[in-house]
């Protein structure tokens, strides 16, 4: 984690600048806030997954003369932001309001609703007659399948038959017209997604919070009542640099993968890592990040751990940031 | 402001969307341009000139653009394209349901929880110019990636290129108290002048302060 320091914010200095927006402090032509880190993930389907749109088919996008499965950012971010809220609730240091229903009443402090999760994932709320905007420190990209769509989706046909094994409904004297096709992404499908920050806006505890939130397998997409846990997340690596690089677009990664081996998780991780490390100053291998995640999860499950202390110490700093800025 | 003209070629690396136009059931993005303001702010963020905080200041475009060492033209493309609509869901019921008051409104059909957005696809190339600053020489990079669009999810790759003619945004000029003749009115904040040689455009934007 120490190597990441030049690209992260300092938790005890979130509010060093005076919030009076004199233009000298707002934008100055010197490189004071350079830094971008990208957490590159492979989302592996471990049960049927449904990422769909208005049609019943899986959402896709045309790229490199082919169609690829596309999961828009919210398909993942929504679930993970929710997990972040649950983590804060478990520790009793935030997540007071339901997700997407941030409400502030007159006379409340903004920190009554805004917490570390807000800092990491972004939010906004109406306050009096103003809107308080907090931009997300971490941007989610689309998740794109590594293989063309025709290789990673399947469908099943459903009909609602009667108990006697026919389609004939004896009560209404009609054949059932409840016939439809269910499309799903096949287990074993790999999707690449990039979570990135721009500028030194994410403190180290924020990064830990993010790693905890994306670290566990979960149920994503539609119809999870049928499939349950359906995505396992693998970390390709964490890449940092002064400037954001074009290669951190999942579409560019897909282009780079053409002609390389990406058939299984290990091969895909190795190929993606090779593409990414060439363009970045700071490179941390996925296995190391995965080890951090394991440690973080273990620390979270143990009460009174150092991680819990860190969360508790960060809370007043984060509260101060929101209260001072939005007063 | 220095008399530097940097031609810019911008290519989308991911789709991006804005709520530019109302269409049946949702919104669509204007497919043929990236506004000058998106370019200026995106560049400021990429070059590390924004404050390092997730909390945003009150909105005052003039104050912010005045502080930037550059002005920009609108980025235009010859081949505008849009992706087919993507359905988005306003997901408020997931935790804790609705309050009674909202429930009544929803039951009357007055809350649209499904709406569509239409994005500009990747691989679209826009051209325009930046005045008063050469970000490539300044940062020592041959290309820069800026972020535009809703939630800043659109990645745009900037490269230097030679540009002869550009369109300016008369709405930006108006912020600085200057009047330019408008050829096409797209939105209140996007009013295009006719095409003009970059030298004339430079003279016009040098007065924006």
pLDDT for B87-116, tens place per residue? 998 877 778 777 787 778 777 877 778 899
User: Is the sign of the CA dihedral A260, A139, B114, B83 positive or negative?
Assistant: negative
B37 neighbors B61 (Cβ within 8 angstroms):
yes
Which member of A28, A136, A141 has the closest CB to residue B49? A28
Q: What is the H or E stretch that residue A91 is in?
A: helix A74-91
Q: Is B15 on the interface with A (CB under 8 A)?
A: yes
Residues of A in contact with B66 (CB under 8 A): 23
Tokens of B197: 């040689």
Q: Give the angle A116-A118-A120 at the CA atoms, nearest 5°.
A: 70
Compute how many other C-beta atoms are within 10 angstroms of the C-beta atom of residue A233: 20
Position B112 scores a pLDDT of 77
This prediction has a pTM of: 0.93
d(CA A205, CA A202): 8
A38 neighbors A277 (Cβ within 8 angstroms):
no
Q: Is A187 on the interface with B (CB under 8 A)?
A: no
Position A31 scores a pLDDT of 66
Which member of B52, B69, B145 has the closest CB to residue A200? B52
pLDDT tens digit sequence for B28-58: 999 999 999 999 999 999 999 888 888 888 8
The half-sphere exposure of B77 on its side-chain side, counting CA atoms within 13 A, is 20
d(CA A293, CA A310): 16
Q: Is B46 on the interface with A (CB under 8 A)?
A: yes
pLDDT(A23) > 50: no
The shortest C-alpha distance from B14 to chain A (Å) reads: 7
pLDDT tens digit sequence for A238-281: 999 999 999 999 999 999 999 998 889 999 999 999 999 999 99
Position A16 scores a pLDDT of 60
SS (H, E, C) B15-69: CECCCCEEECCEEECCCCEECHHHHHHHHHHHCCCCCCCCECCCCCHHHHHHHCC
Angle between helices A265-277 and A250-257 (to 10 degrees): 110
pLDDT tens digit sequence for A149-194: 999 999 999 877 788 888 888 888 888 888 889 999 999 999 999 9
DSSP string, A198-256: ESS--BHHHHHHHHHHHHS-B--SB-HHHH-S-EEEEEEEEEEESS--GGGSHHHHHHH
B-facing residues of A in 241-270 (CB < 8 A) are 242-246, 248-252
A82 neighbors A222 (Cβ within 8 angstroms):
no
Tokens of A230: 């359906």
pLDDT(A18) > 70: no
Cross-chain residue pair B54–A53, CB shorter than 8 Å: no
d(CA A18, CA A24): 11
Cross-chain residue pair A53–B96, CB shorter than 8 Å: no
User: Any idea which residue has 């009150």 for tokens?
Assistant: B58
Of B137, B43, B52, B141, give the one whose Cα is nearest residue A35: B52
Position A89 scores a pLDDT of 96
SS (H, E, C) A245-301: CHHHCHHHHHHHHCCCCCCCHHHHHHHHHHHHHCCCCEEEEHHHHHHHHHHHHHHHH
Position A177 scores a pLDDT of 82
Return mean pLDDT, chain B.
93
Question: Rounded to whole angstroms, what are the CA distances from A233 to A4, A192, A219, A254, B150?
Answer: 22, 10, 11, 18, 26
pLDDT(A237) > 60: yes
A-facing residues of B in 61-100 (CB < 8 A) are 63-64, 66-69, 83, 85-88, 91-92, 94-96
pLDDT tens digit sequence for B141-163: 999 999 999 999 999 999 999 99
The half-sphere exposure of A229 on its side-chain side, counting CA atoms within 13 A, is 6
B47 neighbors B148 (Cβ within 8 angstroms):
no
Which member of A99, A140, A201 has the closest CB to residue B94? A99
d(CA A30, CA A7): 16
Residue from B1, B16, B17, B53 whose CB has the most chain A CBs within 10 Å, to mutate: B53
Percent of chain A with pLDDT over 90: 69
SS3 of residue B194 by DSSP: coil
- Write down the H helix ranges in chain B: 36-46, 61-67, 100-107, 135-139, 170-175, 198-205
State how far Cα B124 lies from the chain centre.
Answer: 15
Q: In this predicted model, which residue has the larger pLDDT, A175 or A67?
A: A67
Return mean pLDDT, chain A.
91
10 Å CB burial of residue A274 (0-12, 13-18, 19+) is exposed
Cross-chain residue pair B143–A326, CB shorter than 8 Å: no
Tokens of A45: 């389907």
Position A19 scores a pLDDT of 44
Compute how many other C-beta atoms are within 10 angstroms of the C-beta atom of residue A266: 11
- Name, in order, each residue with C-beta under 8 angstroms of B126's C-beta and a sequence gap of 6 or more: B9, B10, B11, B12, B33, B34, B75, B76, B77, B156
- Name, in order, each residue with C-beta under 8 angstroms of A165's C-beta and a sequence gap of 6 or more: none
- Write down the H helix ranges in A97-231: 116-121, 149-152, 204-215, 224-227
Q: Give the angle A118-A121-A123 at the CA atoms, nearest 5°.
A: 50
């Amino acid at each position: 984690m120490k190597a990441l320091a030049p690209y992260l914010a300092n938790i005890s200095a979130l509010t060093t600048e005076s919030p009076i927006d004199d233009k000298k402090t707002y934008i100055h032509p010197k490189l004071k806030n350079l830094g971008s880190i990208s957490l590159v993930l492979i989302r592996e389907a471990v049960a049927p997954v449904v990422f769909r749109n208005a049609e019943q088919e899986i959402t896709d996008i045309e790229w490199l003369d082919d169609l690829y499965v596309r999961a828009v950012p919210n398909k993942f971010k929504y679930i993970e932001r929710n997990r972040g809220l649950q983590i804060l609730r478990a520790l009793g240091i935030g997540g007071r309001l339901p997700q997407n229903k941030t409400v502030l009443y007159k006379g409340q402090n903004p920190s009554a609703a805004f917490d570390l999760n807000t800092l990491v994932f972004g939010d906004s709320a109406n306050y009096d007659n103003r809107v308080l905007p907090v931009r997300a420190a971490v941007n989610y990209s689309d998740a794109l399948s590594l293989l063309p769509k025709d290789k990673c989706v399947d469908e099943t046909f459903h009909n609602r038959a009667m108990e006697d094994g026919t389609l004939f409904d004896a009560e209404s004297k009609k054949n059932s017209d409840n016939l439809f096709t269910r499309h799903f992404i096949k287990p074993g499908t790999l999707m690449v997604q990039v979570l990135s920050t721009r500028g030194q806006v994410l403190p180290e505890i924020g990064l830990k919070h993010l790693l905890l939130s994306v670290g566990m397998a979960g149920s994503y997409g539609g119809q999870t009542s049928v499939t349950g846990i359906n995505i396992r997340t693998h970390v390709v690596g964490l890449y940092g640099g002064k400037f954001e690089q074009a290669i951190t677009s999942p579409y560019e990664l897909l282009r780079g993968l053409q002609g390389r081996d990406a058939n299984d998780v290990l091969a895909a991780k190795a190929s993606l890592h090779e593409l990414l490390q060439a363009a970045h100053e700071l490179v941390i291998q996925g296995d190391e990040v995965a080890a951090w995640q394991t440690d973080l999860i273990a620390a979270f499950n143990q009460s009174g751990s150092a991680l819990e202390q860190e969360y508790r110490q960060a809370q007043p700093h984060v509260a101060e940031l929101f209260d001072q800025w939005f007063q | 402001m220095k008399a530097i003209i940097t031609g810019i070629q911008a290519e989308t690396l991911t789709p991006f969307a804005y709520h530019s136009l109302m269409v049946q059931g949702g919104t669509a993005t204007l497919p043929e341009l990236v506004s000058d303001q998106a370019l200026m702010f995106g560049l400021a963020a990429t070059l590390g000139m924004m404050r390092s905080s997730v909390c945003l200041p009150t909105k005052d475009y003039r104050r912010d653009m005045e502080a930037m060492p550059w002005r920009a033209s609108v980025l235009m493309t010859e081949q505008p394209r849009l992706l087919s609509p993507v359905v988005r869901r306003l997901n408020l019921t997931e935790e804790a349901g609705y309050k009674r008051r909202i429930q009544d409104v929803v039951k009357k059909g007055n809350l649209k929880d499904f709406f569509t957005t239409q994005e500009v696809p990747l691989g679209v190339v826009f051209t325009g110019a930046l005045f008063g600053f050469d970000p490539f020489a300044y940062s020592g990079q041959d290309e820069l990636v800026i972020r535009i669009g809703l939630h800043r999810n659109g990645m745009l790759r900037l490269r230097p290129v030679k540009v002869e003619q550009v369109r300016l945004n008369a709405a930006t000029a108006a912020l600085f108290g200057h009047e330019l003749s408008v050829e096409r009115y797209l939105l209140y904040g996007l009013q295009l002048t006719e095409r003009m040689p970059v030298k004339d455009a430079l003279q016009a934007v040098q007065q924006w302060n």
